[in-house]
Chain A
Amino acid sequence: MSLLTIKNLSAGYGDSTVLQDVGLEILPGEMVVLIGPNGAGKSTVLKSVFGLTTKTAGEIHFRGSDITKLPTHALIEEGIGYVPQGRLVFPSLTVEENLDMGGYSIDHKQTLRQNKERVYEIFPALKEKYRSRAGSLSGGQQQQLAIGRALMMTPELLMLDEPSLGLSPKLMHEVFQTLERLRQSGTTILVVEQNVRLALQYVDRGYLLAAGQIRFAGSAAELGSENLMRDAFLT
């Protein structure tokens, strides 16, 4: 059974519609990429799942139950994590406090501490800097923190919006290697990525989005074919 299903989704912001009749399906344990040219609506897909857009048609199901109308905080509790674009950490909070914010809805202190430890195991660099202000971290560390913060709720599905943005090639690979490890430990991953070549080295399969519609779905190899790419990005 699929973990996340989007059916015939039309969504946008206010009066403007960005997505039209979008459908996709993600199985548990997969790592799936969403690629496409600028303005295709890739981020809007993630935001729609996370309840941050106006939906005009369609349904979103998570673990078989309808989550189309659920508010954001309920989605977090359902097990969906979201890392917004642009390494949006809280710069004036310390690393530790940022993680606490990620676990905002956890009331149980023990759980909070365990989850924090788990994040520190994944990102040892964060543990070293746990008392530093997030604003003073390097770009790569801030991205780790943004991912770590989303992991605080131990999501089943982790959605990331362009995690490689503004990072050096080496750090980009590190981010995807981390995602790879997360997937191996059982987290399903849906990632929006502008850097197609990078992403296709790591994912199982993906969707190509253009002008608010799914144009193609297939394996990493199929998506990587030169013709398909040229068509999508030039038209």
Chain B
Amino acid sequence: MPNSDRHPDIRTYPDARLMQEIALHNNERAFEVLYDRYSARMYRYFYRLLWQNAAKSEDFTQDLFLKIIEKPHLYDPSHNFCTWLYTLATNMCKNEYRRKLTLSLQETEVQEQIYHTFLPEKIDQQRLDSELREAIGQLAEPHRQCFVLRYQEACSVAQIAEIMDCPEGTIKSRLHYALKQITEKVGAFYKE
């Protein structure tokens, strides 16, 4: 009998209920549904925050879902599951930033040199994407996280505040700064 017949409604379960199934019954199907819902999103989030490094993003996504398998009791059902997942992922990235601080600074210096020596006359979509990606990458970590969560992951300001454990005012300020920085940098290349 296929799994879908045994659990006909499990795909419609809310996240918290699926987590309960995993925590109490080690329900494989519940885990699979959660994975299908969030894996691409979380992989992309890691990819965006970890310098477009696919291998690292894969490792981080695996570690994130392993946490769900091994410690599902850490999830508090009174909180939004998606926010909790983003919080875990953000903290993992912060740890990685700390670990790779020196390397990250070196990479930023290299990127900046390329950035200043490149002044195109006309930017097509592909180039715009490239410049936008670079501009996002040059933001300081907290600003980058805020920007990615807001404009690439479509999180609300309140959600970002919870994920980053900061007041909403701080998040708004960071977003404002990030937008200004990116608009200025991208605008320097953009010419219609």
Pair from one complex: no
